[in-house]
């Protein structure tokens, strides 16, 4: 990437300028007057929850759409007027990386080299440079479709870098990529910005924002913040605290803490509860609360997510209406979900390999792992959607192979993306799931009425689920899964793509249900959500590589340099340990 | 238009064509299946049609006529004494019709008053077969009447029918060329419609559009490989037709390929137009089936003769490219290189193709704005 320096002086002061950018799709206003400057030589995060308008803004900058109003300048060009010249100056990696999965790594590179008009004689050097940069050298003949998420992303990046662009646009590069590969991507982006490239990184993960040199924070098409992320978190100085070493149920503690008028946001972190105050002057209130609860109060550094929630006026309350209505779960067995030697093979490929664990009643059990690690396969076997090749799975003491339908009655299942019926109205969705679980007559009507009331769906009964705001969609999906009062709840990536406030609301319900004795199994790729779990099972390459409480997992990753490792650090640490072990073993075998 | 970009796109598309199992299925397996079906399973020839012959009269002439029905290779006769015995079989479809030789047959035969001699009942629910039964029955009777006149004086006029182009009147000889047209429609229209929609669906179009590649280059890069694939599939189907199914190829191979190349213009154009309008592969496939495959099947003269269609439908057939292609294909297979017949057809196909391409160009999205 050394040639890039020579091309630098041509860059105007700002790599991208946004002047009152408005984009409408029909009645819907996706961007409502965005004003901002993106500078070269640094990483700018375009941050916001799904539906905030990030992708639209990226596409406008890439010249793939024209703004309805306002002006955009990218590398000194107008993306619409100079649409012929712009592509030579930008690299754009769309979501899902824009790769051809039926072409090999090398063939993808050749295609983009040809499209960029690279001369044949420079192909070898360019490919060599990019392959070295992305460390994809050993995989040139592999089909892109057979690469892992992280490798796909690197290849997508290599293709976008083909013509050494001045502005690099990356749309959600971190989605579907395991933390180890994400780490690699940060390294590469760092190298690029050091050489003067303007890199724009769109993301819904708020923790990624903290790593950016500058941030444009979007919410519902409005620019909420433009500047250095530290500036935003600095506003929350002395407002974030952790409640440690208490002897209470931490879920009850969180619920009570959220009741305090002084507290604007709170989450669970392992055994601790993390709260954010509305103003720094309210420290007394939280100190009194900690004292009463017998907890130790520790000031902690504010996070970007705290700032985001604060910007939006605080999180939801801590009481779940649905959990309050529910009678405590009566189940005899202490072990609610159990699997032993659970294995599933698809042909020669083993998706789940000898997985065993037990989940106790009233526990939140998290299943974590990179994409393709076997989480979903394991999950599907546990809810009876997939037959295991070997091993036993039991739910509420019932063997899923022999008593599948009785076992299924005991569980509520919320699939990825909520899986509501788009062609049925909200009311019909509720009636359908009640019917599917065998509710009839008065009981059916009573339960539906109850769900409608507690989730405030009255005004939405005749809408199609797709018209609902995300938060309502999630409530509806949860209502459908809870209709038959299941003692066990399976949640498959329940909060992916959901904004932090809706996510908090969701966890309030889950926490409330667990306190009533409901057992919850959850898969997630939000590392900080793993903190809500009592125990976390980490899956990697079809195997269970760790199973412990979040605090214990984090403790394993503690180093001298990193005294307070986050869940993501623990994850990376464990995976690297497995990789190192595998490498040592294969070396021994070779010798 | 940049040559380097175009080559990159054509190479990419060709690799995808080769690696996608569904292209192979549609281009090479489907033709074999269709050709086998049309060559062996589907036959429009009328042979051994089951009918009943109700003999109500015991006269010698009546017996002789009944024997004449039994003797022809066109009919498989169920004899009966009462029409009630066979009427049920016609209702149930076991028999395609029946012939009644009435009680007073002998008297009618010698009567000088012109009148009906026998009654022929046919199953009108299958008009084609009904027509054949009526026609053949008429033929049997005429022949029988003629043979009754012992040693007739030499007839003044003798009718000898000859069937041109398809002397054995084998339906496969015109069905197989028709099947080739169906296959080409599938490849040209369905595959093209799908591949462009697929680029949008998988998000790769977005990546392509952010490079210097122009939309025209992207589309040409898609069409060229499918054009070659279409010609290869024609060649394969024609080889099968000639060497396996014994369909004669009276014209030249060059003409056959030229015709196919011309037909691919409207076929690909239609696929491109669909892909410009459809948002996803499912809709594209539906549109391709309804607007490409079904007309090629029903309105092209492949199975149903255009001359017997009602006038409005007949007019519609002129804009179905497969109609022109099938007519020309049948000419090149069964008659030879009759340019006077084929040139107008080719001109029609090119004209339809030009319209499709113009529409596709006007409707193709050049950015993500809709």
What does the pLDDT read at residue A3?
47
A277 lies in some domain: yes
pLDDT at B348 over 90: yes
What does the pLDDT read at residue A537?
93
What does the pLDDT read at residue A4?
47
Distance from CA of B129 to the nearest CA of A (A): 46
Count structural domains, chain A: 4
- Whether A455 and A513 map to the same domain: the answer is no
The candidate with the shortest Cα–Cα distance to A18, out of A36, A31, A32, is A36
- Whether A382 and A434 map to the same domain: the answer is no
Residues 6+ apart with CB under 8 A from B178: B38, B300, B301, B302, B303, B326, B329, B330
Are A420 and A476 in contact, with CB atoms under 8 Å apart? yes
- Whether A513 and A583 map to the same domain: the answer is yes
Domain's final residue, options A195, A214, A232: A232
Count structural domains, chain B: 2
- Whether A120 and A49 map to the same domain: the answer is yes
- Whether B209 and B323 map to the same domain: the answer is yes
Q: Which residue of A has its CA nearest to B2?
A: A117
C-beta neighbour count of A179 within 10 angstroms: 21
For β-strands A69-74 and A16-25, DSSP reports them as: antiparallel
- Whether A203 and A68 map to the same domain: the answer is yes
* Residues B34, B185: Cα–Cα separation, whole Å: 13
B187 lies in some domain: yes
pLDDT tens digits, residue range A265-307?
A: 888 888 889 999 988 888 888 888 888 888 889 999 888 888 8
Rg (CA), chain B: 28
Across the interface, do A115 and B202 touch by the CB < 8 Å criterion?
no
* Residues A319, A451: Cα–Cα separation, whole Å: 16
Distance from CA of B202 to the nearest CA of A (A): 8
pLDDT tens digits, residue range B86-143?
A: 888 888 888 888 888 888 888 887 777 767 778 888 887 777 778 778 888 888 888 8
The candidate with the shortest Cα–Cα distance to A16, out of A82, A84, A72, is A72
pLDDT at B370 over 70: no
Mean pLDDT, residues A140-157 taken together: 86
A250 burial type by CB count under 10 A (0-12 exposed, 13-18 middle, 19+ buried) = buried
A183 burial type by CB count under 10 A (0-12 exposed, 13-18 middle, 19+ buried) = middle
Question: Which structural domain, as residue segments, surrounds residue A441?
Answer: 420-485
B2 — contact with chain A (CB < 8 Å)? yes
Domain's final residue, options A232, A247, A272: A232
Assign A556 a pLDDT band (cuts: 50, 70, 90): confident
Cα angle, residue A121 at apex, residues A119 and A122 outer, rounded to 5°: 75
Q: Which two tokens stand for residue A504?
A: 């908090």
B177 lies in some domain: yes
What does the pLDDT read at residue A420?
81
B156 lies in some domain: no
User: Which residues from A are below 8 Å from B220, CB to CB?
Assistant: none
Q: Which residue of B has its CA nearest to A85?
A: B212
For β-strands A364-368 and A222-227, DSSP reports them as: unpaired
Torsion of CA A507, A512, A514, A517, to 10 degrees: -170
pLDDT at A519 over 90: yes
Q: How far apart are the first and last CA of chain B?
A: 25
Mean pLDDT, residues B188-206 taken together: 86
pLDDT at A71 over 90: yes
Sign of the torsion formed by the C-alpha atoms of A550, A556, A562 and A568: negative
B190 lies in some domain: yes
pLDDT tens digits, residue range A455-479?
A: 888 888 888 888 777 778 888 888 8
CATH number for the domain including B140?
3.40.1710.10
- Whether B268 and B313 map to the same domain: the answer is yes
Quick check: pTM over 0.90? no
- Whether A171 and A113 map to the same domain: the answer is yes
What does the pLDDT read at residue A522?
93
User: Which one of B7, B12, B213 has the shortest CB-CB distance to A103?
Assistant: B12
Torsion of CA B349, B352, B356, B359, to 10 degrees: 160
Across the interface, do B204 and A95 touch by the CB < 8 Å criterion?
no
What does the pLDDT read at residue A168?
95
Assign A69 a pLDDT band (cuts: 50, 70, 90): very high
B18 — contact with chain A (CB < 8 Å)? no
- Whether B211 and B358 map to the same domain: the answer is yes
B19 — contact with chain A (CB < 8 Å)? yes
Which residue is associated with the tokens 């630098």?
Answer: A8
What does the pLDDT read at residue A314?
78
What does the pLDDT read at residue A566?
83
Chain-centre distance of CA A351, in angstroms? 22
Question: Which structural domain, as residue segments, surrounds residue B129?
Answer: 49-148
Across the interface, do A92 and B207 touch by the CB < 8 Å criterion?
yes
Residues 6+ apart with CB under 8 A from A168: A90, A91, A92, A93, A160, A161, A192, A197, A198, A199, A200
Residues 6+ apart with CB under 8 A from B340: none
User: Which neighbouring-strand residues pair with A90?
Assistant: A167
B245 lies in some domain: yes
Residue A424 or A417, more confident:
A424
* DSSP string across A197-256: -EEEEEES-HHHHTTSSEEEEEETTEEEEEE-HHHHHHTTTT-EEEEES--S-HHHHHHH
Chain-centre distance of CA A580, in angstroms? 27
Q: Which two tokens stand for residue A216?
A: 């444009």
Mean pLDDT, residues A202-206 taken together: 85
What are the phi and psi torsion angles at A343 (to 5°)? -140, 140
B157 lies in some domain: no
Supply the mean pLDDT for chain A.
Answer: 86
B85 — contact with chain A (CB < 8 Å)? no
Across the interface, do B16 and A113 touch by the CB < 8 Å criterion?
no
* Residues B143, B152: Cα–Cα separation, whole Å: 13
Are B72 and B140 in contact, with CB atoms under 8 Å apart? yes
pLDDT tens digits, residue range B141-193?
A: 888 888 776 555 555 555 566 666 665 556 667 777 888 888 888 888 988 88
- Whether A218 and A242 map to the same domain: the answer is no
pLDDT at A2 over 80: no
- Any idea how long chain A is? 591
Distance from CA of B22 to the nearest CA of A (A): 13
Residue A363 or B363, more confident:
A363
Across the interface, do B207 and A59 touch by the CB < 8 Å criterion?
no
A29 lies in some domain: yes
User: Which residues from A are below 8 Å from B11, CB to CB?
Assistant: 110-111, 114
- Whether A503 and A472 map to the same domain: the answer is no
Domain's final residue, options A290, A318, A346: A318
A–B interface: beta-carbon pairs under 8 A? 83
The candidate with the shortest Cα–Cα distance to A68, out of A173, B88, B357, A60, is A60
Are A243 and A223 in contact, with CB atoms under 8 Å apart? no
User: Which residues from A are below 8 Å from B198, CB to CB?
Assistant: none
Are A168 and A199 in contact, with CB atoms under 8 Å apart? yes
A325 lies in some domain: no
User: Which residues from B are below 8 Å from A100, CB to CB?
Assistant: 12, 16, 204
Residues 6+ apart with CB under 8 A from B91: none
* Residues A486, A478: Cα–Cα separation, whole Å: 12
* Residues A510, A487: Cα–Cα separation, whole Å: 12
A235 burial type by CB count under 10 A (0-12 exposed, 13-18 middle, 19+ buried) = middle
- Whether A473 and A491 map to the same domain: the answer is no
User: Which one of A66, A103, A112 has the shortest CB-CB distance to B211?
Assistant: A112
B165 lies in some domain: no
CATH number for the domain including A304?
3.30.70
Distance from CA of A92 to the nearest CA of B (A): 6
The candidate with the shortest Cα–Cα distance to B278, out of B212, B200, B351, is B200
For β-strands A390-395 and A335-346, DSSP reports them as: antiparallel
State how far the alpha carbon of A433 is from the alpha carbons of A413, A419, B67, in Å. 11, 12, 71
A18 lies in some domain: yes
What does the pLDDT read at residue B152?
54
* Residues B288, B226: Cα–Cα separation, whole Å: 15
- Whether B331 and B296 map to the same domain: the answer is yes
State how far the alpha carbon of B88 is from the alpha carbons of A285, B82, B93, B133, in Å. 96, 12, 9, 18
pLDDT tens digits, residue range B58-93?
A: 888 888 888 888 887 778 888 888 888 888 888 888
Across the interface, do B208 and A114 touch by the CB < 8 Å criterion?
no
* Residues B219, B360: Cα–Cα separation, whole Å: 10
- Which of A58, A98, A109, A155 is most worth mutating to test chain B (most B CB atoms within 10 A of its CB)? A98
Which residue is associated with the tokens 């008028």?
Answer: A261
CATH number for the domain including A68?
3.40.50.300
A534 lies in some domain: yes
What does the pLDDT read at residue A11?
45
Residues 6+ apart with CB under 8 A from A275: A240, A241, A242, A243, A257, A263, A265, A266, A286
Across the interface, do B8 and A88 touch by the CB < 8 Å criterion?
no
User: Which residues from A are below 8 Å from B12, CB to CB?
Assistant: 100, 103, 107, 111
Supply the mean pLDDT for chain B.
Answer: 84
B258 lies in some domain: yes
pLDDT at A1 over 50: no
Q: Which residue of B has its CA nearest to A168?
A: B210
Across the interface, do B210 and A113 touch by the CB < 8 Å criterion?
no
- Whether A308 and A352 map to the same domain: the answer is no
Q: Which two tokens stand for residue A281?
A: 């002057």
User: Which one of A90, A96, A115 has the shortest CB-CB distance to B5?
Assistant: A115
Mean pLDDT, residues A401-411 taken together: 83
Are B322 and B296 in contact, with CB atoms under 8 Å apart? yes
Across the interface, do B206 and A65 touch by the CB < 8 Å criterion?
no
- Whether B248 and B337 map to the same domain: the answer is yes
Residue B46 or A220, more confident:
A220
pLDDT at A43 over 60: yes
Mean pLDDT, residues A314-320 taken together: 77
- Whether A404 and A429 map to the same domain: the answer is no
Are A410 and A397 in contact, with CB atoms under 8 Å apart? no
Across the interface, do B9 and A63 touch by the CB < 8 Å criterion?
no
User: Which one of A90, A99, A100 has the shortest CB-CB distance to B210?
Assistant: A90
Across the interface, do B213 and A93 touch by the CB < 8 Å criterion?
no
B250 — contact with chain A (CB < 8 Å)? no
Distance from CA of A62 to the nearest CA of B (A): 6
The candidate with the shortest Cα–Cα distance to A329, out of A424, A411, A222, is A411
Chain A residues whose C-beta sits inside 8 Å of any chain B C-beta: 59, 62-66, 84, 87-88, 90, 92-103, 107, 110-117, 159
User: Which one of B5, B204, B368 has the shortest CB-CB distance to A114?
Assistant: B5
- Whether A402 and A424 map to the same domain: the answer is no
- Range list of β-strands (E), A363-500: 364-368, 390-395, 398-399, 411-414, 488-492
State how far the alpha carbon of B335 is from the alpha carbons of B248, B306, B327, B344, in Å. 9, 19, 11, 16
User: Which residues from A are below 8 Å from B4, CB to CB?
Assistant: 114, 117
Across the interface, do B206 and A63 touch by the CB < 8 Å criterion?
no
What does the pLDDT read at residue B267?
94
What are the phi and psi torsion angles at A423 (to 5°)? -90, -5
The candidate with the shortest Cα–Cα distance to A570, out of A590, A552, A588, is A552
Across the interface, do B8 and A110 touch by the CB < 8 Å criterion?
yes
A329 lies in some domain: no
A499 lies in some domain: yes
For β-strands A535-540 and A543-548, DSSP reports them as: antiparallel
Distance from CA of B283 to the nearest CA of A (A): 17
C-beta neighbour count of A579 within 10 angstroms: 13
- Which of B2, B211, B369 is most worth mutating to test chain A (most A CB atoms within 10 A of its CB)? B211
Residues 6+ apart with CB under 8 A from A457: A426, A430, A451, A472, A475, A476, A479
What does the pLDDT read at residue A113?
92
User: Which residues from B are below 8 Å from A99, CB to CB?
Assistant: 204, 207
A122 lies in some domain: yes
- Whether B197 and B105 map to the same domain: the answer is no
**A517: helix, strand or coil:** coil
Assign A398 a pLDDT band (cuts: 50, 70, 90): confident
Mean pLDDT, residues B256-268 taken together: 94
B29 — contact with chain A (CB < 8 Å)? no
- Whether B20 and B89 map to the same domain: the answer is no
Residue B161 or A352, more confident:
A352
Q: Which residue of A has its CA nearest to B204?
A: A98
- Whether B97 and B227 map to the same domain: the answer is no
């Amino acid at each position: 990437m050394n040639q890039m320096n020579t091309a630098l002086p041509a860059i105007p002061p700002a790599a991208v300028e946004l002047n009152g950018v408005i984009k409408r799709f029909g009645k819907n206003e996706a961007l409502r007057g965005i004003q901002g400057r993106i500078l070269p030589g640094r990483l700018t995060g375009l941050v916001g929850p799904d539906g905030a308008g990030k992708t639209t803004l990226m596409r406008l900058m890439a010249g793939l759409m024209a703004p309805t109003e306002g002006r955009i300048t990218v590398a000194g060009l107008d993306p619409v007027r100079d649409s012929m010249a712009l592509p030579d100056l930008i690299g754009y990696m769309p979501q899902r990386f824009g790769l051809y999965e039926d072409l090999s790594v090398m063939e993808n590179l050749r295609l983009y080299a040809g499209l960029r008009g690279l001369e044949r004689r420079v192909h070898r050097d360019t490919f060599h440079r990019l392959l070295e940069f992305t460390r994809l050298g050993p995989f040139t003949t592999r089909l892109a479709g057979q690469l892992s998420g992280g490798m796909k992303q690197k290849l997508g990046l290599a293709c976008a870098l083909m013509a050494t662009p001045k502005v690099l646009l990356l749309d959600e590069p971190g989605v579907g990529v395991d933390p180890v590969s994400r780490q690699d991507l940060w390294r590469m982006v760092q190298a690029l910005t050091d050489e003067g490239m303007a890199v724009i990184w769109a993301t819904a993960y708020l923790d990624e924002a903290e790593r950016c040199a500058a941030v444009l924070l979007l919410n519902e098409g409005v620019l909420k913040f433009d500047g250095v992320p530290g500036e935003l978190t600095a506003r929350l100085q002395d407002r974030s605290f952790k409640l440690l070493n208490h002897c209470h149920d931490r879920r009850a503690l969180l619920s009570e803490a959220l009741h305090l008028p002084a507290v604007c946001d709170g989450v669970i972190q392992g055994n601790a509860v993390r709260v954010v105050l509305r103003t720094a002057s309210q420290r007394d209130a939280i100190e009194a609360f900690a004292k009463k609860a017998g907890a130790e109060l520790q000031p902690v550094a504010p996070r970007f997510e705290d700032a985001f929630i604060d910007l939006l006026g605080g999180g939801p309350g801590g009481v779940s209406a649905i959990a309050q209505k529910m009678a405590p779960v009566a189940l005899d067995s202490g072990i609610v979900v159990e699997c032993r030697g659970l294995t599933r093979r698809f042909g020669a490929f083993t998706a789940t390999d000898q997985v065993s664990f037990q989940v106790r009643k009233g526990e939140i059990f998290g299943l974590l792992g990179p994409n393709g690690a076997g989480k979903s396969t394991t999950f599907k076997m546990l809810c009876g959607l997939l037959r295991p090749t070997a091993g036993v799975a039991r739910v509420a003491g019932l063997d899923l192979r022999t008593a599948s339908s009785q076992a299924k009655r005991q569980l509520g299942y919320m699939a990825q993306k909520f899986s509501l019926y788009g062609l049925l109205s909200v009311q019909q969705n509720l009636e359908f799931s009640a019917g599917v679980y065998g509710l009839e007559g008065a009981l059916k009507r009573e339960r539906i009425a109850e769900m409608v009331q507690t989730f405030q769906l009255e005004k939405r009964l005749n809408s199609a689920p797709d018209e609902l705001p995300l938060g309502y969609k999630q409530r509806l999906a949860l209502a459908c899964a809870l209709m038959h009062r299941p003692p066990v709840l399976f949640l498959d990536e329940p909060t992916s793509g959901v904004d932090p406030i809706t996510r908090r609301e969701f966890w309030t319900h889950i926490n409330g249900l667990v306190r009533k004795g409901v057992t919850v199994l959850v898969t997630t790729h939000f590392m900080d959500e793993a903190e809500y779990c009592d125990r976390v099972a980490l899956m990697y390459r079809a195997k269970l590589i760790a199973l412990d409480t979040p605090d214990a997992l984090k403790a394993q990753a503690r180093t001298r340099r990193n005294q307070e490792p986050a869940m993501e650090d623990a994850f990376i640490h464990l995976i690297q340990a497995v990789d190192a072990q595998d490498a040592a073993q294969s070396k021994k075998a070779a010798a | 238009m940049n040559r380097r970009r175009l080559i990159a796109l054509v190479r990419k598309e060709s690799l995808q064509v080769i690696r996608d199992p569904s292209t192979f299925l549609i281009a090479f397996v489907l033709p074999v299946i269709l050709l086998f079906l049309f060559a062996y399973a589907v036959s429009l020839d009328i042979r051994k049609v089951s009918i009943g012959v109700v003999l109500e009269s015991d006269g010698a002439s009546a017996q002789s006529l009944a024997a004449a029905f039994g003797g022809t290779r066109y009919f498989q006769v169920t004899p009966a004494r009462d029409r009630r015995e066979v009427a049920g079989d016609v209702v149930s479809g076991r028999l395609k019709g029946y012939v009644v030789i009435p009680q007073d047959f002998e008297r009618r035969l010698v009567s000088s008053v012109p009148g009906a001699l026998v009654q022929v009942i046919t199953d009108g629910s299958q008009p084609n077969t009904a027509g054949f039964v009526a026609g053949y029955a008429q033929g049997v009777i005429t022949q029988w009447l003629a043979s009754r006149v012992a040693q007739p004086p030499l007839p003044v006029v003798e009718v000898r029918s000859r069937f041109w182009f398809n002397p054995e009147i084998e339906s496969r000889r015109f069905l197989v060329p028709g099947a080739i047209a169906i296959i080409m429609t599938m490849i040209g229209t369905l595959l093209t419609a799908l591949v462009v929609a697929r680029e949008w669906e998988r998000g790769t179009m977005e990546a392509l559009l952010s490079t210097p590649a122009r939309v025209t280059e992207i589309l040409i890069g898609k069409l060229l490989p499918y054009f070659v694939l279409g010609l290869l599939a024609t060649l394969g189907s024609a080889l099968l037709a000639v060497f396996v199914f014994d369909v004669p190829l009276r014209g030249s191979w060059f003409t056959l390929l030229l015709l196919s190349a011309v037909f691919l213009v409207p076929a690909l154009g239609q696929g491109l137009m669909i892909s410009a309008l459809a948002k996803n592969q499912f809709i594209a496939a539906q549109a391709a089936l309804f607007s490409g495959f079904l007309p090629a099947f029903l309105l092209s003269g492949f199975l149903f003769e255009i001359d017997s269609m009602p006038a409005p439908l007949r007019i519609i057939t002129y804009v179905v490219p497969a109609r022109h292609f099938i007519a020309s294909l049948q000419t090149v297979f069964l008659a030879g290189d009759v340019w006077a017949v084929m040139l107008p057809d080719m001109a029609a196909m090119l004209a339809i193709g030009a319209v499709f391409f113009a529409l596709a160009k006007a409707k193709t999205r050049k950015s993500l704005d809709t």
